[in-house]
Each structure stands twice: as structure tokens, then as C-alpha cells.
A and B are shown apart, each in its own frame.
Chain A
Amino acid sequence: MASLLHHLLSEAAQRDPDHLAVRCRDRTLTYGELESAANGVAATLTAAGVRHRDRVGVHLPKSVEMVAAVYGVMKAGAAYVPLDPRAPTARLGGIATDCEIAGLISTTKGAHSLLPAIEQHDLRIAIAVGDAPEAIEQPVQVIRFDDAAAAPGEPHVEGIDTDLAYILYTSGSTGSPKGVMLSHRHALNFVRWCASALEVGPQDTLSNHAPLHFDLSVFDLYLAALSGATVVPVPDEITYLGAELSSFIAREGVSVWYSVPSALTLLARTLPGPGALPTLRTVVFAGEVFPTKELRRLRELLPEADLWNLYGPTETNVCTYHRVTALPEDHVPIPIGRACENTEVFALRDDGGVAGVGEEGELFVRGTCVMDGYWGRPERTAEVVVPDPRPGGRDVAYRTGDLVRLRPDGEYEFLGRRDHQIKSRGYRIELGDIEAALAANPAFLESAAVAVPHPDWGTAVIAWVVPRNGAEITERTVRSHVAGLLPRYMVPARVEVVDALPRTSNGKVDRQQLNDRSSTVPVG
């Protein structure tokens, strides 16, 4: 049985080498070809001096080369570090420097701009997709990707399943990104659960919408390999175009789709009616709360599709799931569900006791899914990976900072971030509650609630609302809508009606930017 992620590729290649492994734009690789390209990349990295347990940056757009690159890095015994090609060079240079990458796989153009921003001396090789890498003037060996992929030989690096497979950098509260370290075992445990829960097989075609630096890509790439299915990375230029995403699913015959809810909302707006995407049998979403109103619309348009809500911070990838059956009323969010296999979740009340049914608490996660820590930051790691706080607890648990409530059916409801819990005029308020109320109004396309400090009340809530096309929305209509659903003290103090909410590169609503903008809004 596979104990390392790249074993999944080797096994698939052995079972059916001619089966299509990856297709992106007009390029395809069979499992046999992908295995061979990954072996070539691994042999090239190894020959250049990349060693077991090193790190290699992968700085590539969506492409067949991106998939071959991550397998090549792991086959060399190293961990891959996704570097978002859309991120500023200085930030990427900082990440590459922080985890001391020994190799970089990029495009010729990308390597040209990124290499000078990397300030460390362990970098031994750059592999560049494209022509004329010799144009790069660097004190580092640069090899064309095609030459690397064609290199003969099979790598013989033997690792174990607790070795790091990849490091995902997420924004840190202090402003410099922190690298979440994840092992082969971590990802394998997850995709094995997915394969059995979603019943994925060689006949399936999986989308890859999320960028490589977002952990949704782990599902796409390794569930596909485990199942011997085909993965189709969504070209970067259509990521945010709903109409193009619908055509992509139809054209590529995607059967299993995984993305953030906002991408599905964009896509749903362009579907002519139910049955437009007949191949799509399973739709999985994660990363933010899917407004129930939008989810209902999606379900009406995709009546045959199975819908799954997955939950988990990057530090645990995915730790709970909820299979969508009946939908609650529009202002009630769907639950995050129950623990995945080989995972335990529990919530601790403020007084330290384990939350029972109906009680609120901070969610803790135990199991293989918990990260190994933040790269080079043991103190920061120790703040969140803590000894299991329950009586008799023997190992560690990850404290998510997320507030949840246990329902009588054993599923958890997400209530908001621990740091989003606010008190205003003495009342305790969950911003998620206000957001659910906002989301229930069909005239509001998107909305968010943000807390800002207030000299008199402690905190004031500002609502941000994007009107649906043509809807006439004023501060007054928004406040009176919320007042119709929630206690008066939860009605936002101010409402900003805007054309769009800011988003991060992952497609999530950019809470930081919203907070920053909210702090400049005058509150009476």
C-alpha cells in the first residue's frame, strides 16, 4: 500500500499507463507519461544536489508541468512549496528565503524575476518551463523543464510517511506569512477518506480550480491519482469567469468539482437552467461559508449532483464534512458537520469543559490531519498545537480559533472566529449571525459584517452589502431587513453599499481588507 503521495502516481501508472492523468488547455499526459516526467524531474533535482528533506519551490501557472513538478519534487525526497505566480515577487522571495529552498521550478519569465529576490545560498538549481533559460544570469544552474522531464533514471529516495510532502504559506497575523508543514501521511489519510466517501474511480474527471498554494489542490491532485482518475486544472485566465467555468465543466466532462463557494456562485449565475451540466455528479466546497440562499440556487440548477461541505483550516486541511441533504431556511447556515475518518473533533467551552449538545465552544482537532507545525516557528506552533486539554488526554490537538456549537444530530455548526466574537453595548454578538441574516435577503448579492472598535459601545458592526443587479438598496433598507430577523442590538450601526467585496488570491472574502476599510467608516 502507498505510504507516500508519489506512490499513488507510480501505482496508477503501473495499473493503467495509458489512462489520461492530466489535461490542461490542449496538453495531456497519460499516467505513464506523468510518471516518466516526474522521474526525470526528480533525477535532475537529485543530480543537482537536492537531497531528502530539502524544499523546492513550485512557481508555475496551471499546467501539466505543474502536476509533473510536484510529483518530481516528492520523488526526489523533498517537500514542495507552492509559490503563487500572481503574488508579489518580494513576498515570494521572502517565502523561498524563509524555508531555504534548494531548488525552484518556474517558467523562464518567472525564474527571471524571482531568482534575484531569493536571499540564500542553498539554491542549487532552477528548472524553467519555456525557451531560452540561458538568458537568466544567475549563479545557479538553470535547466529547461522539457530536458529535466526527459532525463533518464528512476529516483531511489526512500522516505517515510511522516516526511514533509509540502509547505503551504498562509497569511500570518504579524504580516509575514507562516509555512504550514504537512506530511505525506496527512494528505494520504485525507484522500483515502475522500475516495471511499465520494466513491471516486478511474472513470471520473476531477477539476482543479484552486491554486496550488491553497489546500483544496491536495484533494484534486491526489484523489485523482489514488483513484486512477483524470485531473483537469482550470486555466488561470478563466478562474473568475463564471460563464467560462460552466463551459469548462461541460467541455472537459468534469464529474467531481471542488472549489470555494464563491466560484460556484459565479458559475451558477450563468447556467441557463437545471440539467445544463449533466456530467457533474459531485460538487464539493470548502474555504468559507456557503450562503444557504446561494446553495439552494445551485442545488436547483444541479438537481442530480451530490453536494458536500468540507471544513478545516489549512493546519488540518479538512477535518469535518457535511453531506448536504435538506437545506435550512435562507438565514440559517449549513453545518460544517462531523469529523472525517481517523479524526476527532471536540469543542471546549470558555470554562475549559467539553461542550455538549447545544453548547458553544472553540473547536479542537485531533488526528493525522493536524499539521506538523509552522516552518521555523516553534513558539507560534506551540500556541496552537497543544496537549489534548481534556482529562486523560495523551497526545496533541490543534486549536482552530473557530467557535462552533454541537447539534443534537452530532454535527457541528460554525458560529464564527473566536476573534470575531464581539461585545457591543454589553451584548454578545456573533458576526456570523448577522452575516447569515444579510445573506437571506435576495436583493443582496453578497454581504459581510465587520466589527470596529467604538469609544462608547466597545464595538460597532459595519455591514458591507453588494446589491444584486438593479436592486435599489439603501442603509435604511439593509438595517430594517436585519432588524426583521435579529435582536435590535445586532443591527449594524452603519451600512456600506458597494459594487463588490475585496477577495484574496484564494477567492475568499478578504476580511483583512474589509476590516481596514471599515475602520475608516464614521460611526455615530
Chain B
Amino acid sequence: MEVADKIRHFIKEEVVLDTDSSLEDDAPLLDGILDSLALMQLVAFLEEEFDTEIDDTEVTAENFKTIADIERLVDGRRARA
């Protein structure tokens, strides 16, 4: 599965709790989908799934606005690793 698909799968399964919903790469996540609990769960998921560490200072709107933004954050980490 691609990075974006894994993130999408997690958000649909664990946050939206509706696997039928469509969640495009550019859908806004911070305006109603990700609340404080979901954000923490998502960060923990990313850290484990992609074997990386995400600092609190990196949990920004720029990095978490959409699935595409999260994918960019993860890809950037993996390129550096």
C-alpha cells in the first residue's frame, strides 16, 4: 500500500469510523475530522508504521492539513533516513 493509502486507511478506520466514506488526498482534515485525540492517535500511528519520530513542534497545519501533506512529511523523513 502507498503511504497515502495507509494514512487514509488509518483515518477511515480509526477516526471517521466509516470505511465507505471517500477521503481524497486534498480533503481538509483539520476542520472537523481530526480532533485532539485523533491527532495524537495519528501521530502515534505514523511513528510506528513508518518507523520515525514526529516532534510536537512538527504537528502543524502545514504538515497535517491534508493526507497529501502528511505523506510529504513522512516521505521527507524516509528520504533523510
Contact = CB atoms under 8 A, between A and B. Distances in A.
Interface of A: 61, 85-86, 236-244, 262, 266, 269-270, 469, 499-503, 505, 507
B27 interface: no
Interface stretch (B16-24, B31-39, B70-78): B31-39
A238 B41 contact: no
A242 B28 CA distance: 19
B9 to A, nearest CB: 17
Contact of A500 (B30, B31, B37, B61): B37
Nearest to A513: B37
Query: Which of B35, B36, B39, B58 is the most central at the interface, judged by chain A CB atoms within 10 Å of its CB?
Result: B36
15 contacts: A236-B32, A237-B30, A241-B39, A241-B60, A241-B61, A243-B56, A244-B60, A266-B36, A266-B56, A270-B56, A270-B57, A499-B44, A500-B40, A503-B37, A507-B36
Query: Which of A236, A237, A269, A505 is the most central at the interface, judged by chain B CB atoms within 10 Å of its CB?
Result: A237
A262 B39 CA distance: 14
Contacts of B35: 86, 240, 503, 505
Given A241-B61, A262-B36, 18 more contacts: A61-B31, A237-B28, A237-B31, A237-B65, A238-B61, A240-B39, A243-B58, A243-B60, A244-B60, A270-B57, A500-B37, A500-B40, A500-B41, A501-B37, A503-B36, A503-B37, A505-B35, A507-B36
7 closest cross-chain pairs (CB), A and B: A237-B30, A500-B40, A240-B36, A269-B56, A499-B44, A270-B57, A243-B57
B18 to A, nearest CB: 13
A501 B41 CA distance: 10
B55 to A, nearest CB: 8
A155 to B, nearest CB: 33
Contacts of A505: 35
Nearest to A237: B30
Interface of B: 28, 30-32, 34-37, 39-41, 44, 53, 56-61, 64-65
A469 B57 CA distance: 13
Nearest to B53: A469
Nearest to A446: B40
A63 B57 CA distance: 26
Nearest to A507: B36
A30 to B, nearest CB: 28
Nearest to A61: B31
B2 to A, nearest CB: 24
Contacts of B60: 241, 243-244
B37 A242 contact: no
A269 B61 CA distance: 16
Contacts of A85: 32
Contacts of B61: 237-238, 241, 244
Contacts of B58: 243
A243 B61 CA distance: 9
Given A241-B60, A270-B56, A507-B36, A499 B41 contact: yes
A359 to B, nearest CB: 37
Nearest to A509: B37
A387 to B, nearest CB: 41
Contacts of A241: 30, 39, 59-61, 64
B37 to A, nearest CB: 5
A479 to B, nearest CB: 23
A240 B32 contact: no
A61 B30 CA distance: 13
A243 B43 CA distance: 14
Contacts of A243: 56-60
Contact of B37 (A236, A266, A502): A502
A17 B35 CA distance: 38
B33 to A, nearest CB: 10
Contact of A242 (B32, B41, B59, B65): B59
A284 B59 CA distance: 24
B30 A238 contact: yes
A237 B53 CA distance: 23
B34 A242 contact: no
B26 to A, nearest CB: 14
Contacts of B53: 469
Nearest to B31: A237
A503 B44 CA distance: 17
A500 B37 CA distance: 6
A503 B37 CA distance: 6
